[in-house]
Structure 1
Amino acid sequence: MEKWFNVGKIVNTHGVKGELKIVSTTDFPEERYQIGNTLYLFQGKNQEPISLVIKSHRNHKSFDLLTFEGYENINEVEKFKEGILKVQEDQLQELEEGEYYFHEIVGCKVLTTAGEELGTITEILSPGANDVWVVKGQRGKEYLIPYIEDIVKTIDIEEQLVTIEPMEGLLS
């Protein structure tokens, strides 16, 4: 079974020459959106992805703008709006030690250094200087854990376990 990973969402068209406005969800837009790379478009209930080869990439405001080979005008790409762009697992690059993909972190159990189980990481927010991990506790309580050295002490991807040292007020 193939594993797919999101790299962006098509939110709109841009101009009349087939350019698409992408809200990127990849940490590697320069590599992911290189001319000639293949992305796979998933739309709604259609389970069969459309293979798209990148023809051009540029940044505009807070968006990545892409065109794809064989799609030269707005009429041909209008139908792609709201679609999700993905890559296959074998397209992921190796990360440096201490770096992780979101899919490796989401699902990990979180313990404090005192051994208290907080819950499971359900989502990662990227609002600014550092990521924030959303941890859902047993009784539905959510904790927002900033991914900073002072708090996140160990990450064990094999065991799906993260250990944190909560600072004062973090868990209240």
Structure 2
Amino acid sequence: MQVLVIVGRIGRAHGIKGEIGMIVRTDDPDLRFADGAKLVTASNPPRTLTVQSSRWHSGRLLVKFAEVPDRTAAELLRNLEVQSEIDEDERPEDPDEYYDRELIGLKVRTATGEDAGEVIDVIHLPSQDLLEIRRPAGNAVLVPLVAELVPEIDLDAQYVTVADRPGLLDPDGAEVVPTDEA
């Protein structure tokens, strides 16, 4: 069975011939954006785009889609996420990498084993990824997806462990640092 995974977000148009700067969201951009690759936009309705060519320019991936003839057409696609079809059982090569679909729905617990909620989304920011966690009380918190704060992800047992840090899972429990007011 095939599933869709997000591999990038369309950025600014580059030049007048329809090239697009791609914000890459995959560890294998040379495979996902190879000539002839079919990508699907995360739009309503979805649109299939065929990679005509791709190249690296000043540290940025530029992609030309066969269906995008010029700059005007490229600008209309700006900020759309693009997805690639993969086998449902496919895993990233790096054991510390995960697809969003693998993390969403996992139970969250603290290092002491206390139920802390459920992962409801993975948010990708330029600096780092965040887990959006719905707490048992119904509110949601964001936790940076870094080893210091999320030391364990067990896909087989269907849970992630989040560090017990003041204010991380309970913003009301954050430590207040006194400031010098003059």
Matches within 5 A, 1:122-161: 122-127=120-125, 130-161=128-159
Q: 2:81 aligns with which of 73, 84, 90?
A: 84
Counting strand residues as a fraction of each chain, which structure ranks higher?
Answer: 1
Work out the number of aligned pairs and report it. 169
In 2, the alpha carbon distance for the partners of 1:43 and 1:129 equals 23
Which whole-Å deviations, capped at 9, do the CAs of 1:83-111 have from their partners, x for residues lacking one? 43210023966422233222211221101
Does structure 1 retain, via aligned residues, the 8 Å contact 2:42–2:82? Answer: no
In 2, the alpha carbon distance for the partners of 1:93 and 1:73 equals 36
TM value normalised by structure 1? 0.74
Deviation at 1:64, TM superposition (A): 3.2
Three-state SS of the structure 2 residue aligned to 1:45 is: coil
Query: Could you tell me which amino acid in structure 2 is paired with residue 65 of structure 1?
Result: L
The residue aligned with 2:44 is: 45
Query: Could you tell me which amino acid in structure 1 is paired with residue 37 of structure 2?
Result: T
In 1, the alpha carbon distance for the partners of 2:125 and 2:78 equals 24
Query: Could you tell me which amino acid in structure 1 is paired with residue 13 of structure 2?
Result: T
The residue aligned with 1:28 is: 28
Q: Could you tell me which runs of 5 or more consecutive residues in structure 1 were left unpaired when the two chains were aligned.
A: none
Query: Could you tell me which amino acid in structure 2 is paired with residue 32 of structure 1?
Result: R
Distance change in 2, residues 1:12/1:140 (3 Å): same
In 1, the alpha carbon distance for the partners of 2:58 and 2:38 equals 20
Query: Once superposed, what is the RMSD of the aligned Cα atoms?
Result: 3.1
The residue aligned with 1:166 is: 164
In 2, the alpha carbon distance for the partners of 1:127 and 1:71 equals 27
Q: List 4+ stretches of structure 1 deviating above 6 A.
A: none
In 2, the alpha carbon distance for the partners of 1:83 and 1:147 equals 23
Are residues 1:73 and 2:70 paired? yes
Does structure 1 retain, via aligned residues, the 8 Å contact 2:49–2:65? Answer: no
Percent of residue pairs bearing the same amino acid type: 25
